[in-house]
Structure 1
Amino acid sequence: MRRKSGKGAEAGDSGDATVESVLDELYATPPPEFVARREERAAAARTAGRKEDARLIHAARRPTLAAWAANLLARSEPEESRRFLELGRELREAHRSLDPAGLRELSAQRRRIVTALSRQTARLADEAGHRLSQAALREVEATLRAVLADPDAAERWSGGRLAVSLTPPSEFPSDTAPAAPAKPEPAGTTAPAQSRAKDELADRRRKRREELADAEREAKEADERLRDTRTRRKEAEELLRRTGEEHDRAREEVSAAEERLRAAREDLDRTGRELKEAQEGARAAGGAVTGAEREARTAARRVDRLAARGR
């Protein structure tokens, strides 16, 4: 069952997407981009007020390259994946029913199909920009064999969210038909106990391998987070340096502008005083001109009178 987000919005918005749709998106994301995408989606859920969704998203484990490639196959080739899962059911049924002929035929198909699907997975990964190494390809083949042998592994793979490669159970025959039924053991035999002990040992080894793979993956993710954090800190320090320099330049420009403003105000005051003095001088000169004009007119009339007397 898919768990809906707190707001029940469509999956197109990362802030309101269902947890299931976000997880589907994450496990379709190539491993190098997984952590950044996960943190982005978790942050969007937190911003939307969905703390539990954010916790579930943040808990998603970064897949190995081989596990991502196996997820890619399951998602990209749904019809072939369906037929492969059906082959696994038939193969397990033949094993349970001890049908040698059917098991031989299905085992031959298993070999061909695992080889073909492994190559197809490598091609899909390469097209997505991530070439699989031989070791990763062997992990993909192991996952496909596990899907055929184990119904739980088949269900996990079909969900397209593997974080690590799967390991086929040791008790499932790889390519051969089952042996003839053994003769009854005498009473008190220890064979069943030995078989159980072997099974328990195999289970413990498989669990240890899975725990080791989980620990290595978590350590790698921690290293990636540390590198990301250091990168962000370096970027923040660089931004702080640039901003400080810009602030210093702006402060210098303000100081220079204030100095220019002070000088301009002094010039304004000085020119104001000079203007006032010039206006007073102009008024005084105007008065002198008026007086001189009166004197000139008086002198002219005197000249006229004197000239009249002489005639």
Structure 2
Amino acid sequence: MADAAGEDLDAAADALYGLPPAEFTAARNDRAASATGALATQIKALRKPSVAAWAVNLLVRDGQLTDAVELSQALHEAQDDLDAPELAKLGRQRRALVAGLARRAAALAEEAGTPLSRAVLEEVEVTINAAIVDAAAAAAILTGRLVRTVQADGMEPAEIADAVAGSVPGAPDRPAPARDDLAARRARKAAEAAARDADRAASEADRNAARLEEKLAKARERADLLHERVDDLRAELARIERDADAADEKVANLEDEHTDARDRAKAAARAADRARGALEPAE
């Protein structure tokens, strides 16, 4: 191990609190032995992190808590604006983000040879949530030097300091927004919501117009087919009417011929009768 002389406590803690808990004590003792004076004593006094705290430290080193801190700022703004829909949406995002980061912590821990139990994973989730909703807790967690896990709200500064090895940065002040700022932000959010509503309405109108256009095209196609059918039927009807007229004419001609034939037959019958009468002997 390199000589620790000249390193401050935070630098030493940074190096130690990323190690698996099983390796912590030996590495701390070696670093303390390499240091001198008060620094050696301080390093020797560093406490072994809990498995859950170590897993959160891995997340910090992996850069995975940045999104959580950004979501924290968005949550605070939504609270300031009393934006209930936005708070509900951010709440869902927070739960999804916490669960995803906890899974990432479990994966990092397993890669380092220390799988997390369900109970430890729950502690990790509580600490990640604290980084989102509590600025003081976030400042402590983001040092990457947690000794034990922390919770959101209800923790005194001394308790938070006790959970971190080395110095603890103060939580950044978040001054209350001025009334004018709140009014402007609320107006902006209202305008953004109105724009989103207008965009949704326009999209729905476009979709409805596209559906109607498709229906119109199908109706026109069907109408064209029916008109073609009507034209075909009219042509067929005209042909049939011509055939019917011809048939009627033929019937009339045949009727005339039939009448003539019957008349001739009657005349022939009468002539035959007369001829037979002439052949009969006179009495």
Task: Give 1:16 shift.
Answer: 4.3
Q: Kindly provide the CA deviation profile for residues 30-70 of structure 1, in whole angstroms up to 9, marking residues without a partner as x.
A: 11221221111111113xxxx11112212222110000000
The question of 1:90 aligning with 2:74 is answered yes
Does the CA contact (< 8 Å) of 2:55 and 2:106 recur in 1? yes
Query: Equivalent residues in 2 for 1:197-276 (5 A)?
Result: 203=154
Classify the secondary structure of the residue corresponding to 2:103: helix
* Match for residue 49 of structure 2 among 59, 63, 79: 63
Query: Counterparts of 2:48 and 2:81 in 1: how far apart (Å)?
Result: 39
Stretches of structure 2 lacking an aligned partner (at least 5 in a row): 164-283
CA distance in 1, matches of 2:88, 2:2: 48
Q: Distance in 2 between matches of 1:55 and 1:99?
A: 51
> Which one of the candidate residues 28, 34, 38 is aligned to 1:52?
38
Root mean square deviation of aligned Cα: 2.3
Q: Distance in 2 between matches of 1:106 and 1:32?
A: 38
Q: Which residue of 2 aligns with 1:163?
A: 147
Q: Which residue identity does 2:56 align to in structure 1?
A: A
If the length of structure 1 is used for normalisation, what is the TM-score?
Answer: 0.48
SS of residue matched to 1:163: coil
Q: Matched residues in 1 for 2:45 and 2:150: separation?
A: 20
Could you tell me how far 1:127 is from its partner in structure 2?
0.4
Q: Which structure 1 segments of 5+ residues have no match?
A: 1-10, 170-202, 215-311
- TM-superposition CA deviations, 1:184-214 (whole Å, max 9, x none): xxxxxxxxxxxxxxxxxxx4xx67xx69x98
Which of 76, 94, 104 pairs up with 1:110? 94
Contact kept? 1:31, 1:68, Cα under 8 Å? yes
Counterpart secondary structure, 2:65 = helix
- Report deviation, 1:20: 2.4
Q: 1:72 aligns with which of 36, 44, 58?
A: 58
Aligned to 1:30: 20
Preserved CA contact (<8 Å) 2:3 2:34: no
CA–CA separation in structure 1 for the residues paired with 2:82 and 2:3? 52
Deviations 1:218-262 (A, max 9, x none): xxxxxxxxxxxxxxxxxxxxxxxxxxxxxxxxxxxxxxxxxxxxx
* Partners of 2:3 and 2:35 within 8 A in 1: no
* Contact persistence 2:17–2:57 (CA under 8 A): yes
Structure 1 outlier segments of 4+, above 6 Å: none
* Partner SS state of residue 111, structure 1: helix
Checking the alignment, whether the CA contact within 8 Å between 1:156 and 1:162 is kept in structure 2 is yes
Q: Classify the secondary structure of the residue corresponding to 2:35.
A: helix
Alpha-carbon shift at residue 132 of structure 1 (Å):
0.2
**TM-score normalized by the length of structure 2:** 0.52
1:129 CA displacement: 0.1
Aligned partner letter, 2:149: S
Shift of 1:96: 3.3
Contact 1:92 1:148 in 2 (8 A): no
- Per-residue deviation, 1:15: 4.1
Counterpart AA for 1:129: G
Residue in 2 aligned with 1:193?
none
Say which SS state the counterpart of residue 144 (structure 2) adopts: coil
- 2:123 aligns with 139
- Equivalent in the alignment of 2:109: 125
Per the TM alignment, residue 150 of structure 1 is displaced from its structure 2 partner at its CA by 0.4
**1:100 match:** 84
Which has the higher Rg, Structure 1 or Structure 2? 2
Between the two proteins, the alignment pairs up a number of residues equal to 160
Change (3 A) 1:102 1:34: same
Structure 1 partner of 2:32? 42
